[in-house]
Each structure stands twice: as structure tokens, then as C-alpha cells.
């Protein structure tokens, strides 16, 4: 397993957990690190909200002790706002600043953020330049193949990001219109890798050792990012890295819950864990009425008791 160096930050391997909105909370990232992820990213964070001192936004910046090095992902559309945000004390602990230019969510896209920036390469470049002026830490960019199949511009976009000063890029080789459907086009990712000299990370469809090796073989990428393939299965990192580690699903779920409780209210943790628990239990036989009860429960102790019963503990 080769290491990956992004500017002056050296990772222990080239496998990382993607910034997944609604899922990449500090508890889940801590588990991903435990199982060997070389780098983790926060959920995407609004640069503008940070400059306003928004408490809920700053709560997304909580990190675990085992996350070093760690990365934060920012989104927005105004270069000057990124410049101001990156200089804030709350971002000093992050080793890498990643810019989201690939989110396909309608609200984000409609605000000219996320994947909308792929249609405005000049503005995207100005954002990266502003970030590079603001810090000597690595600035990375995550983007897609293009807006739709008729406007594939990933190679042109990658070159522009490199020219603007990005230290590495991540290509999720699906279009904005595709969202998360269909297959990622590894040939587009390969073309991006061949077009630039900075490290290229490929995101999309990595779910096991076989898919990881295939992505590297086809694209010659420097790194691979796992998103949905890790949901409910943080141990996938150990499996890909061939690190023989004992796993206990119930213990991992309880660890995840308890870690979040150190930082957030019970109400927040219960709501946040519902989607996580659905993924943790995806391949486990659970009676429909038990699953429904579990996902409606509002008390942590009751959630834990139902989980114990499911796992026969």
C-alpha cells in the first residue's frame, strides 16, 4: 500500500473516507481511522456560515484525537469569503482544506455552489487562488465529470485547478445530473490523471479490495476515496488494507453513539444515528416492526436495548 503526499502532508496510505453530507460526523470518522483510513474529511461546511460565526456550522468541525492528519471540506461561491473563512482560528487544526465543487444537491447547485462551479471555471479558479493566498496548507478540490453528458469538462477543469494552485484534486467521475446513480466513468478519471502532475484521487464505486485495485489499475490514480461503500461498514478500510482486525458491529455502533454523545445532545445523536443505524443493519435480518420501532425511538438507552436484542446480547 503506497503512501500519499499532498504538498507537505504525508498520509500513511492512499485510502480515504469521503466527505459525506449527513454521514461523515466525528464518530464515524473516528471509526474509519481506527480501521485504517489514511485521511478523513468533515462533512461539507459552509464557508459563509463560518464567517458569520454560526454555531451549528462550527459544530461540524469537531475532530477526533486519532484523526491527524485531518481535512475540512468547505463549500461556497465567493472567493473573498473563502479567504476570510480559511483564516479563522476554528480551521487552524485542519491540515488540508478541501473545496467542494461537485455537490449535485439542487439547493447547493441553485446557489451557484458545488457542481455549479464546473460551469464557471474562471470563478472556480479564483476561489482556489484566494484559498492559496490565505494559507500555506494544501488546498484540494473535489469535482465531477461535468454538469451533464453533453458538457463533460473534467480534464479542462482539472488543469485549471492545478494552474490556480491546488495541491491535489479528487474526481468523482459522474455528472451532476447523474447524482449518485449509474457507474462512475473510470476512463474520465484516467484522462484527468494523465492531464495533470499533482496527485489525483478517484472517488466513486470503491466498495472492497477488488474495486479498489481496479480503480488504481484503470486510472493510475494516486489515491482512492470511499463514500457510500463505507456506510455501515467502516471496517471496509481494514479489509482493503488487508489489516486483520477483529470487528464487532454492535460495539462499533455503541462506540459511534457514545462518541457523538460526548459532543452533542441526546436528541441530535438519536436523529443523526438513525440513518447510520439503517446502514449498519443493512445486511442483518431484522423484523420490520423491530426496525420501525428502532428508527422511531427517541431515547438512546432504548435504542441501545433494541440493538442488544437484535444482536442477541
Catalytic residues, which ones?
103
**CA 98, CA 131: separation in Å to the nearest integer?**
10
Q: Are 108 and 60 in contact (CB under 8 A)?
A: no
What value does the CA radius of gyration of the chain take, rounded to a whole number of Å?
A: 19
Residue 45: which of 37, 36, 33, 54 has the closest Cα? 54
Q: Are 272 and 25 in contact (CB under 8 A)?
A: yes
C-alpha pair distances (Å), 10 with each of 5, 13, 38, 62, 159? 4, 9, 9, 22, 23
Q: Are 218 and 239 in contact (CB under 8 A)?
A: no
Amino acid at each position: 500500500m503506497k503512501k500519499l503526499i499532498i504538498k507537505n502532508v504525508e498520509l500513511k496510505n492512499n485510502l480515504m473516507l469521503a466527505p459525506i453530507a449527513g454521514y461523515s460526523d466525528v464518530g464515524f470518522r473516528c471509526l474509519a481511522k481506527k480501521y485504517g483510513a489514511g485521511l478523513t474529511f468533515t462533512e461539507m461546511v459552509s464557508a459563509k456560515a463560518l464567517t458569520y460565526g454560526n454555531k451549528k456550522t462550527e459544530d461540524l468541525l469537531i475532530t477526533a484525537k486519532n484523526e491527524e492528519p485531518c481535512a475540512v471540506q468547505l463549500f461556497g461561491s465567493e472567493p473573498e469569503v473563502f479567504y476570510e473563512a480559511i483564516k479563522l482560528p476554528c480551521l487552524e487544526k485542519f491540515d488540508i482544506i478541501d473545496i467542494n465543487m461537485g455537490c449535485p444537491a439542487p439547493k447547493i447547485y441553485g446557489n451557484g455552489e458545488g457542481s455549479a462551479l464546473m460551469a464557471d471555471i474562471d470563478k472556480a479558479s479564483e476561489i482556489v487562488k484566494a484559498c492559496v493566498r490565505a494559507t500555506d496548507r494544501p488546498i484540494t478540490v473535489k469535482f465531477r465529470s461535468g454538469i451533464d453528458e453533453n458538457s463533460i469538462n473534467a480534464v479542462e477543469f482539472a488543469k485549471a485547478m492545478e494552474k490556480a494552485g491546488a495541491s491535489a484534486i479528487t474526481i468523482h467521475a459522474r455528472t451532476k445530473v447523474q447524482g449518485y446513480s449509474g457507474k462512475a466513468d473510470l476512463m474520465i478519471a484516467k484522462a484527468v490523471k494523465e492531464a495533470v502532475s499533482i496527485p489525483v484521487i478517484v472517488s466513486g464505486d470503491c466498495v472492497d479490495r477488488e474495486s479498489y485495485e481496479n480503480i488504481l489499475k484503470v486510472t493510475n490514480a494516486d489515491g482512492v476515496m470511499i463514500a457510500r461503500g463505507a456506510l455501515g461498514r467502516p471496517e471496509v478500510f481494514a479489509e482493503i488494507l488487508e489489516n486483520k482486525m477483529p470487528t464487532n458491529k454492535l460495539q462499533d455502533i455503541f462506540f459511534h453513539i457514545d462518541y457523538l454523545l460526548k459532543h452533542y445532545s441526546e436528541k441530535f445523536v438519536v436523529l443523526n444515528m438513525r440513518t447510520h443505524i439503517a446502514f449498519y443493519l443493512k445486511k442483518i435480518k431484522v423484523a420490520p416492526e423491530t426496525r420501525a420501532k428502532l428508527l422511531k425511538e427517541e431515547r438512546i438507552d432504548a435504542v441501545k436495548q433494541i440493538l442488544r436484542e437484535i444482536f442477541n446480547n
